[in-house]
Amino acid sequence: MTKTALDNALREKNVVALMALLKESGEEVMRVGGNVIAFPTTDEESNESWIEITIKVPKGERIAKEDGGGFGGYDGYGLAEFYENETQRKAEEAEKKKAAAAAKKAKSTAKKKEPAKTEEEGE
């Protein structure tokens, strides 16, 4: 079999398996594309919406023709580690910004609470 045929078979197998899993959990799942499934749902305020899931077999980054062409392979572990690190970094940045804003607000509030100096005190 060709790599494309193998990828297509793998994708189909997983679309069917995921649909079965979702149906087993009570979802009204349906296929809306060759590799796309969807099911209706509601949000926290009972507004109706849809969830759509696309199943794909990633090939990785394309390699330039002068370097031999094709694809460089997909590193799911590396991408997951990168995502985790980026998420953590962004959370830390947000926490620093939040702390800086709180300090600025506290300083501003403290200034407002200081009693006004009178002329006799040297102002």
∠ CA 13-31-55 to the nearest 5 degrees?
50
Least confident of 24-33, 39-48, 113-122: 113-122
- CB distance 29 to 39 below 8 Å: yes
Q: What is the mean pLDDT of the chain?
A: 88
Question: Is the pLDDT score of 71 beyond 80?
Answer: no
- CB distance 50 to 38 below 8 Å: yes
Q: Which residue has the tokens 């799942």?
A: 29
Q: The whole model's pTM is what?
A: 0.66
Domain boundaries, the chain: 1-57, 59-100
- Amino acid code (one letter) for 10: L
Instruction: Name the residue with higher pLDDT: 75 or 15.
Output: 15
Question: Is the pLDDT score of 123 beyond 60?
Answer: no
Which residues fall within 8 angstroms of residue 7, CB to CB, at 6 or more apart? 57, 59
Instruction: Name the residue with higher pLDDT: 22 or 61.
Output: 22
Whole-angstrom Cα distance, residue 38 to residue 68? 38
Whole-angstrom Cα distance, residue 42 to residue 100? 38
